[in-house]
Amino acid sequence: MPAYVRRKQAKRAKKAESLKCESINKSRPKNIRKLLVNV
pLDDT of residue 11: 92
Whole-Å CA distances, 26 to 1, 2, 7, 16, 21: 36, 36, 28, 15, 8
Alpha helices, H only, the chain: 3-38
Query: Does the pLDDT of residue 12 top 80, yes or no?
Result: yes
Query: Does the pLDDT of residue 39 top 70, yes or no?
Result: no
Instruction: State how far the Cα of 22 lies from the Cα of 18, in Å rounded to an integer.
Output: 6
Q: pLDDT (tens digit, 9 = 90+) per residue, 16-28?
A: 887 876 776 666 6
